[in-house]
Chains A and B, each alone.
Chain A
């Protein structure tokens, strides 16, 4: 895969998704198929992206670094920075499309499909590290705490890290 194709993969994934992890399914499908990234690298990048400062969508910068070094991280960063500029055109057309029931329903259907696909991909990512009762328990607990919203993300990860160390010592 050339640098241009690599950049295009990140750009395309962001153009066709919304949110910080919305590009995960497309990137996972294309980069694993091209043997550029492994499920384990996705898992590590997601974890680092959550811990590092800034929007959690920066996990792709981490994935870029893990798969192609500094060049990869900069190409990935450029690939996720450009698509949000379409907001300027969307804002201009805001009055025409935002409240149109069919446009709203299209976005709703796309979001439902995106969540369904993302769940499958995330389970695949977990499977790449081996699904064990303790890892499932940690994932469920983190999900529950993430839904509560009152527990800081860093506290969840710190607890998970401690749990991992305790489990490894036994």
Chain B
């Protein structure tokens, strides 16, 4: 039985009591062990455990937190884990949540890599890798396109100028990366700066007629 669900059933009120640190660790451990299939699969499991099955977090809280983690540096799912852990059990909740999610998945990643190093010269493994590596590149490009879609959609709603700016930054980044491959950070910061300048100029021009 899902530990979160048991907590809901044990609670006499509509708002479930926060789980104990151990129960919280077990929920995250279950997620960590089941989350095959990348970030989307992990996010779906997190939502199922904390929103659908246990009601520990409301759908609105979940969506708001997920929106907020989009602007945090690093892996969004880790930031989401930190927010949920803190919401339910404070600092101790952060520690047990991250431990529960990461211990099995980091251990499995190390194990998979060690196993790969052991068998990488086996002919059928080499043959399989010949297909897997282009697939991982394709999936990486798909993730980039998925990352880009909400951004361009928001820009489109604001008008043609922000959308044109997004497309220009994208093309400029491709060209700049090919010309200055080692200058990734300046390219990213320049992209953000150009976007901010476009917005500042646009809002200033909108205020002028008033």
Instruction: Identify whether the interface residues of A are mostly helix, strand, loop, or mixed.
Output: helix
In-complex Cβ contact of A56 among B39, B78, B189 (8 A): B39
* Residue B143, interface by CB 8 Å: yes
Whole-angstrom CA separation of A149 from B126 in the bound complex: 27
Contacts of A86 in B (CB 8 A): 72-74, 79
Q: How far is the CA of A18 from the CA of B78 in the complex (A)?
A: 11
Contact of A50 among B86, B136, B187 (CB under 8 A): B136
A38 lies within 8 A of chain B by Cβ: no
B127 touches A168 (CB 8 A): yes
Q: How far is the CB of A19 from chain B (nearest CB, A)?
A: 6
Beta-carbon contact of B38 and A18 below 8 Å: no
Which residues of A, 2-37, contact B by the 8 Å Cβ criterion?
Answer: 14-21, 23-26, 28-30, 33
How many residues of chain A have a CB within 8 Å of chain B?
Answer: 107
**Cβ contact within 8 Å between A54 and B74:** no
Per-residue interface assignment for chain A, residues 129 to 162, with 1 indicating a CB less than 8 Å from any chain B CB and 0 otherwise:
1000001101111111111010011101101111
What's the minimum C-beta distance from B176 to chain A, rounded to whole angstroms?
8
Q: Taking A43-B137, A57-B77, A153-B41 as contacts, is the C-beta distance between A114 and B129 under 8 angstroms?
A: no
Give Cα A50 to B133, complex, Å.
10
Q: For chain B residues 22-48, which have a beta carbon within 8 Å of chain A? A: 32-42
Docked complex Cα distance between A57 and B8 (Å): 32
Partner of A55, one of B39, B126, B147, B176: B39
Is the pair B128, A110 in contact by a Cβ cutoff of 8 Å? Answer: no
User: What class of interface size applies to chain B in its complex with A?
Assistant: 35 or more
Contact of B119 with A by CB under 8 A: no
List, in ascending order, chain B residues with CB within 8 A of A51's CB. 112, 132
Q: With contacts A58-B106, A84-B79, A167-B130 known, is A117 near B177, CB below 8 A? A: yes
Given known A109-B166, A119-B174, contact A26–B185 (CB-CB < 8 A): yes
Give me 17 other A-B pairs in contact (C-beta within 8 A), A65-B109, A83-B73, A156-B135 excluded: A17-B188, A25-B177, A53-B108, A86-B73, A105-B195, A107-B195, A113-B192, A114-B173, A116-B170, A120-B177, A121-B177, A135-B130, A142-B136, A153-B38, A160-B131, A162-B128, A164-B131
Q: A interface vs B, CB < 8 Å? A: 14-21, 23-26, 28-30, 33, 43-59, 61-62, 65-66, 70, 73, 77, 80-88, 90-91, 94, 98, 101-123, 125-126, 129, 135-136, 138-147, 149, 152-154, 156-157, 159-165, 167-169
Residues of B within 8 A of A (CB): 32-42, 68-79, 81-83, 86, 98, 101-102, 104-106, 108-110, 112-114, 116-117, 120, 123-124, 126-148, 151-152, 154-155, 162, 165-167, 169-174, 176-178, 181-185, 187-196, 198-200, 203
